[in-house]
Structure 1
Amino acid sequence: MTADPRRDIFFVSNSVDELGGVTSWSHQMARLFTGRGHRVHVIGVTDPEVVQELGELPYPTSTLYDVHPPRVGPARGIRGRLDLAERRRRAERAAGMREQAAKLSVLFRAARPGAVVIVTQVWAMEWVKLADTSGATVIGMSHESFAYSRVTSRFGRVRRHYRDVDRMLTLTREDADLWIRQGLDNASFMPNPIPFMPEVPSPRTAKVVVSVGRLTDQKGIDMLLDTWAEVAPRHPDWRLRIYGSGEDEEILRKQCTSLGLDGSVEWMGATADVPGALRGGSVFVLSSRGEGFPLAVMEAMAAALPCAAFDCAPGVHEIVRDGEDGLLAARGNTGELARRLDTLMSDKGLRDRMGEAARVNIQRYSTDEIVRRWEQLFVFLER
């Protein structure tokens, strides 16, 4: 056991600076741990296609590959196994993985006793498994709900690659229990901390509903537009303000036009000032098909906005107390989400009560509390 409570902590992710919640979380935790005196290093496997601006960082970052590793598919049947080109790509990829994993081994071996390796995404775990992690605690994380993971290729990889780590962490107890039933007896949970706690909350005076998130299928902006098509005629003086960018932007804008919503929907693009975006609204809406422990909802509640959200993951109904600080609708039920929005948009007194309750309730995920829980976990796993 280490006498010095300060540790070497490595975050290993798909990339250092890809756009998305996992990256935001990783750098938030890296800053918090650095502030506590730990020595932090953030490592990515490859460079992303879409970069998130991170600003100046108080800790080093590294990326293993200069170019993306060769993509290979599963070898199905005799023909797949005999495909010489595919076999060559597989051999090149395997050799490259060993070469890059050796870089990780050098970093891990140079760490002080009590080092911790936090693998934030299961794809990155494929390289960590090939590295020398002897003497270090290895924690593997899944930042999405069990249900959402189950319909993706990540489900099998989590079961395969996280089975032998020191701890597999989900974001809620409910999801951890589901993974335990899959045979991962090392599963537990750790919620996200509040990304920020603005000194000045939203006054909730503007007739604006705010959405913040990538314009991708997961975030369900198509369902949000269908929802807004039901709400907007009843509230012609309200606007839906959508912050974010992504691969589906063009098709979503066409959908908006076809629904006749161009006069009430504002496409704001990506923003580096989320607190400012939230202060300009009175209600927050989450329309995702799947989530883990959504940072955007936490940010909105910290800004004193009541949320109307699809109950698409255990993390959502753990954060939002339905009827107290927000209103939940069944996942994918746009009519129900429209009714929840209508309720909040029609009643300023209700918006104010729920918004104030949201700002108070979300403080149970304060950064001090979550960092304390992480440090307790480090000590427990080192025994």
Structure 2
Amino acid sequence: MTQREIFFVANEVNELGGVGRWQTQMARLFAERGHRVRIIGIAPPEVPMDLGAHPPFETLTLYDRRPPAHRGPHVPLGRIAPVVRAGGAARRAAAERLSDVFRAAGPGAVIVVTQVWAMEWVALADTAGLPVVGMSHESFEASRRSSRFARVLRYYQDVDRLLVLTQEDADLWVGQGLNNVGFLPNPLPVMPAAPSPRTEKAVVSIGRLNHEKGVDLLLDVWAEAAPRQPGWILRVHGAGDHEPELRRQCTELGLDDSVEWAGQTDDVTGALGRSSVLVQSSRGEGFPLVLLEAMACGVPCAAFDCSPGVREIVRDGEDGLLARHGNTSELARHLVRLMADENLRDAMGERARQNVRRFAPEVVVRRWEELFDFLER
């Protein structure tokens, strides 16, 4: 195995959320295998994640505060763009700082750009001689609904490899004219020694309280499901700008006695261990870590089939239940089915715990190293 210098370039070094957690896990996995790892963030995080006292990787943040968005002409990768020379001093300094870091890299170094906003800076820097892997951590459809779609097409067209999360999404990007697309799944974040006992009458939701995570839809789901299974609670872990309106919706639906607003948690495994079912009501997802974590804990999942990543993880009817995207009545029926049947919960939970091992970290990290070897040829 070739030991490499691996640069992760991201929007932030340690933003709390799925991408930040993935990035930290991958950095640790690579470091454990002898690679030298550095995470470079463009801006400080809004909601920081604790990296621990002595993480096995270096970190660097280019700006003291989040810089404004930039819209300029496309520049071939590996060149300093004219717009950098003509732009503000801060942007010039940030691009040159990245260039200095990359120029000092040893043989076999590789750049992994975790998010497309960060790619705007990498595209302006000198990456000559270094393979560049760009990433999109969301589904093709979720990207297409956002401003990121045009930026993926613009900034990732010249990278050595664009990685998405599933074969299905890769095929859709190829259909947009990109000929450098591959896919790699997220690794399993954790495998607890013992599964959840699945004895507490609790359904758990874990995620930010924003539009994309669909907690407003979940409350509509719970309004249908809760009366059919008295004594169960919905425990909502998360924080976000939508919390006040979600709490109002909860009250208006008469759900205050059966919904617990548990706040943000860093202990996802602990939250799952106190639950018997995980529900996910997202409008869009990439390859959601919380589904992997729930399955590793032996907690069966009921979720909207909102992306290829979701149906890649959950095998509908075998280790979890998927509802058509946005169909709240169908998701409510799935929840009631799991809440009402202890034997079904146990059977699906145990199958989930076995099936999710196909995303074991050692399997995924080896695929990354094989990609690096291929790009170096």
**Aligned-partner residue type, residue 70 of structure 1:** P
Which range moved further: 64-73 or 246-255?
A: 64-73
Q: Distance in 2 between matches of 1:214 and 1:93?
A: 35
Q: Which residue of 14, 17, 20 maps to 2:14?
A: 17
How far apart, in 1, do the equivalents of 2:19 and 2:350 lie? 28
1:6 to 3, 25, 34: 3
Tell me if 1:113 matches 2:107. Answer: yes
> In structure 2, what is the equivalent of residue 43 of structure 1?
40
Q: 1:27 aligns with which of 17, 24, 28?
A: 24
Q: Check if 1:267 corresponds to 2:261.
A: yes
Match of 1:63 in 2: 61
Residue of structure 2 equivalent to 1:283: 277
Runs of 4+ in 1 over 4 A off after TM superposition: 71-74, 90-95
- Which secondary structure state, in structure 1, belongs to the residue aligned with residue 212 of structure 2? helix
Matched residue, 1:191: 185
Paired position in structure 2 for 1:374: 368
Instruction: Indicate how the Cα distance of structure 1 residues 93 and 200 shifts in structure 2: closer, same or farther if over 3 A, else same.
Output: farther
1:367 positional shift: 0.4
Q: Report deviation, 1:17.
A: 1.5
Equivalent residue number for residue 339 of structure 2: 345
Q: How many Å separate the matches in 2 of 1:92 and 1:303?
A: 53
CA distance in 1, matches of 2:307, 2:68: 33
Distance in 1 (CA, whole Å) between partners of 2:139 and 2:217 is 20
Q: TM-score, normalised to structure 1's length?
A: 0.93
Aligned-pair identity in percent equals 63
Task: State the distance in 2 between where 1:61 and 1:12 align.
Answer: 10
1:362 aligned residue (353, 356, 366): 356
Specify the code of the residue in structure 2 equivalent to 1:55: G
Aligned partners of 1:67, 1:327: CA distance in 2, in Å?
A: 43
Q: Does structure 2 retain, via aligned residues, the 8 Å contact 1:8–1:38?
A: yes
Query: Any idea what SS the aligned residue of 2:8 has?
Result: strand
* Unmatched 5+ stretches in structure 2: 73-83
Contact 1:114 1:135 in 2 (8 A): no
Query: Does the 8 Å contact 2:165/2:186 carry over to 1?
Result: yes
Q: Distance in 2 between matches of 1:262 and 1:95?
A: 53
What code does the residue aligned with 1:64 have? L
**1:67 is aligned with what amino acid?**
R
32-41 or 244-253, which deviates more: 244-253
Q: CA deviation at 1:67?
A: 2.2
| Cα distance in 2 for residues equivalent to 1:252 and 1:93 | 42
**Equivalent pair of 1:12/1:44 in contact (CA under 8 Å):** yes
**Structure-2 change in CA distance of 1:305 and 1:216 (3 Å):** same
Which segment is superposed worse, 62-71 or 215-224? 62-71
Aligned residues: 367
Q: CA deviation at 1:201?
A: 1.0
8 A contact 2:85–2:92 mirrored in 1: no
Q: Which residue of 1 aligns with 2:79?
A: none
TM-score between both structures, scaled by the size of structure 2: 0.94
Q: Which residue among 176, 179, 183 is the counterpart of 1:182?
A: 176
1:313-332 CA distance string (max 9 Å, x none)? 00000000000000000111
| Post-superposition CA distance 1:241-290 (Å, at most 9, x none) | 11111111111111111111110001111111111100000001010000
Task: Provide Cα deviations, 1:67-86, integer angstroms capped at 9, x if missing partner.
Answer: 22235689xxxxxxxxxxxx
How many Å apart are 1:128 and its aligned residue? Answer: 0.3
Aligned-partner SS, 1:293: coil
Cα gap change, 1:92 to 1:109, in 2 (>3 Å): closer
- The aligned residue for residue 126 of structure 2 is 132
Q: Which runs of 5+ in 1 are unaligned?
A: 75-89
Root-mean-square deviation over aligned CA pairs: 1.7
Q: Where in structure 2 are the equivalents of 1:189-338 lying within 5 Å?
A: 189-338=183-332
2:283 alignment partner, SS class: coil
> Which residue matches 1:86?
none
- Deviation, structure 1 residue 98: 2.6
Is the alpha carbon distance of 1:177 and 1:94 closer, same or farther for their aligned partners in structure 2, counting shifts above 3 Å? farther
Deviation, structure 1 residue 66 = 1.3
Indicate the larger mover: 91-100 or 327-336: 91-100
- The question of whether the paired residues in 1 share the 8 Å contact of 2:98 and 2:125 is answered with yes
Counterparts of 1:30 and 1:70 in 2: how far apart (Å)? 28
Deviations 1:338-369 (A, max 9, x none): 01101111111111000000000000000000
Checking the alignment, whether the CA contact within 8 Å between 1:14 and 1:121 is kept in structure 2 is yes
Partner residue in 1 for 2:75: none
Cα distance in structure 1, aligned partners of 2:65 and 2:201? 47
Q: Where do 1:158-169 residues align within 5 Å?
A: 158-169=152-163
